[in-house]
Each structure stands twice: as C-alpha cells, then as structure tokens.
Amino acid sequence: MRRSPSPAWMLCAISWDSNTVKRINVFESPQVVGGRHLGLAVAGVIATVVCIFGAVVLLCLFLQWELQLLVQALMFAMLLVGGFSLSWLFWLKKKYCLRADVLGLSKPSLRILHVFWQGPLIFIAALTFQLFIVYAFVDRETSPPGKSLETLLSSMPSPLSIVCAVLSMVFLGPLWEELLLRGYLWGWLRTRFSAVLAVILSGVVFAFIHGLGLLIPYYFVLGAGLAWLRAFHRSIWAPLICHISLNGMVVFLTLLAFSR
C-alpha cells in the first residue's frame, strides 16, 4: 500500500539547481510589504482608535463625567489603543509571514550608536524650522492664551493618569507608530519610490497624523528625520529610540509644569 505524503511535505515544493535540492514553502509571502499588508495595518489601527475613543466619548456624554475622570479615561484609552494596535500589527506580520528585516525589526548593529548625535540633530532641525515658520508667517501681535494655560495646569493629574500617560505616550505609542510608519508604510514606499521621496512622504504622513495647526512644520521635519534614520540604519530601532526619547522628554516637562 502506497503511503500518502505528509501534510507538512504537501505544503512544500522542491526546486533543483546544479548543486542543491531546496524545499520551498509554497505559501511563503513576498519579501516586500504590499498594498494589502499596509491597507490592513492602517485599517486595523484606525478601527481601534475610532472604537476605543468613540466609546469614551459616548460614555462621557451619557454619564456626564467630570474633567478629572475624563482625563483618566482618555489616558486609559490611549493605553488600550497602543496595546491593541501593537498586537494587530504583530498579528499581521505573523499571518503573512513578513520577515523581520522587511519591517525593520532585524537585529541592530553598533551603527545604532550614531543615533546619539543624529537624534538631537533632528530635534534641533525640526524646532528651528518650526520657529522659522512661526516667525515668518504668524501674527506676532496676538497675545498668548495665558489664562487658559493656567487653567489647564491648575490641577495635578491622578497617579493612574500619569502611569497610563507614561506607558502609552513614552513606550506603546512610539512602538506601534514606528512599526506602522517606519515598518509597514516605509516598506511599501520603498518598493515604489526612491529613498529621498520616501523620506519626504513619510514626513508628510507623520505630520498629517500628529499635525495640530502650527505644529505641522515641526512634525513634518521630525517625521522625515525619523524616516531618514530608518533608511540610514536599515531598521526601526534608531527612530524608535529617538521617538521614545522625545516623547519621554515631553511627558516629563508636562508633568513638571503640572507640579508647579
């Protein structure tokens, strides 16, 4: 009686060359990020953001939460968004068998030490460009909203809000943003455009996601700088270190302002 081939062998094909015999998985995904991969990644993140923050807004409207409770809910929602988005992106990687180096997750080399001078340089460039745009195009006679800022900083956030803010903005936020933007998006852009154009488009997308009016120039330069780090180091670890450092500095300065 003839034995039927095992299921594991049926999932493989055989290729011959002059010297070797290779087993090839017929379901192995292309070693590039396709439009389907990027579309699913973006759609999953958008759905996560809409569902979680939408639920918080609805609860706030129906239950008429106070400001402090609303802030706690928003911080916890950011934590959930980070966790679910990161899980979704890694699930897609596993489902479509995307290699680690395709998404910039390959092991970093000693070259990553350059980020300790590249990161501050990118931040200075982004801040300089932002100040130039403000000086050149914004009406400097407008008085700053001092009272609203004092009202915003009048109460110290709760310990739960601080923990959620640190975990979401300093760690989970940069992780899923870098995996999405410098992993999936960068992998898709580099199959269609040159490195320079991919860096510019990455900056535009980063500014569109984070842009808050006058801060768009800052985020554009910052996003382009992080994309340049992705190209220079051929991984997301350098832009991730830079992203975490900047977010950590912002959170620290914000908490310092609240504690005055």
pTM of the model as a whole: 0.83
What total number of domains does the chain contain? Answer: 1
Q: Which of 184, 204, 220, 224 is nearest to 42 (CA)?
A: 184
Asked whether residue 207 is domain-assigned, the answer is yes
Q: What is the mean pLDDT of residues 141-159?
A: 55
Distance, in Å, from the CA atom of 131 to the CA atom of 134, rounded to the nearest integer, reads: 5
Residue 144 lies in a domain: no
Residue 192 lies in a domain: yes
Is 111 within a domain? yes
User: How far apart, in whole angstroms, are the C-alpha atoms of residue 52 and residue 54?
Assistant: 5
What whole-number percentage of the chain has pLDDT above 70?
81
Is 86 contained in some domain? yes
Residues 47-75 have a mean pLDDT of 89
The domain of 79 spans 9-138+151-160+171-258
Domain annotation covers residue 128: yes
1 in any annotated domain: no
pLDDT tens for 100-148 read 999 999 988 899 999 999 999 999 999 999 888 888 776 655 545 544 4
Which residue type occupies 103?
L
Geometric angle at alpha carbon 144, from 143 and 146, rounded to 5° = 120
- Residue 99 and residue 235: Cα distance in Å, rounded? 12
Q: Show the tokens assigned to 149.
A: 């800022």
- Given a contact cutoff of 8 angstroms between Cβ atoms, the answer to whether 29 and 93 are in contact is no
**3 assigned to some structural domain:** no
How would you write 46-103 as a 3-class SS string? HHHHHHHHHHHHHHHHHHCCCHHHHHHHHHHHHHHHHHHHHHHHHHHHHHCCCCCHHH
Contact 89, 184 (CB under 8 A): yes
The Cα 78–Cα 163 span in angstroms is 11
